[in-house]
Structure 1
Amino acid sequence: MSDNARRKVAIVLFNLGGPDGPDAVQPFLFNLFNDPAIIRLPNPLRWLIAKIISSRRAPV
């Protein structure tokens, strides 16, 4: 086997907590998606994407 075939893969799971109630869902999602570790884009684009995702997903 080559070195590429034996490459190990790991999955790390984190408990990020969650919103306390329905009114806290949108700010929670915005903070999550505005994190540069989640979406690796420059700040104006990351902020816009976080705003769009959080405003569309919060009602659901």
Structure 2
Amino acid sequence: MEIIYMLLAISVVVALIFFVAFIFSVRKGQYDDMYTPSVRMLFDDELVKPKTENNKSTKHE
């Protein structure tokens, strides 16, 4: 029976640690921008590489 009380106390301490971490992250602004991360994944692959003339192969005869 004593182990149940000890496990209950440990679980309350762990829950309080997670709650404090959540409150800390909210105050630091971790969850402020909800729109940009969902849209960013749509536009990651649209990087344009500049075209250069040095890439063309020329043959000297």
- TM-score normalized by structure 1? 0.28
Relative contact order higher in (CA < 8 Å, ≥ 6 apart): 1
Instruction: Look at both structures and tell me which one has the larger radius of gyration over its CA atoms.
Output: 2
- TM-score normalized by structure 2? 0.28
Hey, which of these two has a bigger chunk of helix by percent?
2
